[in-house]
Amino acid sequence: MIDEPAPHEYRVLDSAPVYEGRVIRLLKDTVAMPGGGDSVREVVRHPGAVAVVALDDDGHVVLLRQYRHPVGEYLWELPAGLRDADGEPPLQTAQRELAEETRLAAERWSLLTTHYSSPGFCDEMVLIYLAEGLRDVDRPEGFTVEHEELDMTVERVPLADAVQRVFDGGIRNAAAVVGLLAAAQARATGPRLRPVDAG
């Protein structure tokens, strides 16, 4: 029997800050590579985010159309937001974002998926929740609609239509693509979903 080699330890030999912004930090990490060398990696540190597939009793999903400056376009997305409130559990962030952006709350919550948005350079992890049993609520006290959200459109569409928009190229936001396809599969096959506090 041949012994498999031990996995290489990718140690960070040096880490130099390049930029620190309101949301992200950019670092230059020097990392030990297999074979004895090292290489520099630019790494974006991100607080993470949540997104919500909000499904009503008629099987319609809530979508938002919002302008995104880095790509210079309006994108169809799920209700979502940064995990930038100190100490706020991710489920609570998802519930708050759903209320802020859509004036909705949900009776039932499940953790649908977790994914890294772009792990080649960024550590952002997105937790996507399935929210069912929707009801109307007021926006949270103290929340002010501003900036791009002043121009945001909220729409409910059948889940199957939203999934078709993914395949047509009309929905390209990564969390929306992942969340909608996962929700459609969950509806079709009833897989065991993780509890909401799993991460």
Are 180 and 80 contacting, i.e. CB atoms less than 8 angstroms apart?
no
Residue from 77, 97, 101, 149 carrying the catalytic annotation: 149
Paired strand residues for 131: 54, 109
Q: Please report which residue ranges of the chain form alpha helices under DSSP H.
A: 90-102, 159-168, 174-189
Q: Are 104 and 54 in contact (CB under 8 A)?
A: yes
Single-letter code of the amino acid located at 67: Y
The sign of the dihedral angle between the CA atoms of 115, 117, 121, 124 is negative
Task: Identify whether 132 is a catalytic site residue.
Answer: no
CB-based contact 112:182 (threshold 8 Å): yes
Strand order through the sheet with 25-32: 12-20, 25-32, 38-45
Give me the helix-helix angle, 159-168 and 174-189, nearest 10°: 130
CB 54 within 8 A of CB 131: yes
User: Which are the catalytic amino acids?
Assistant: 149
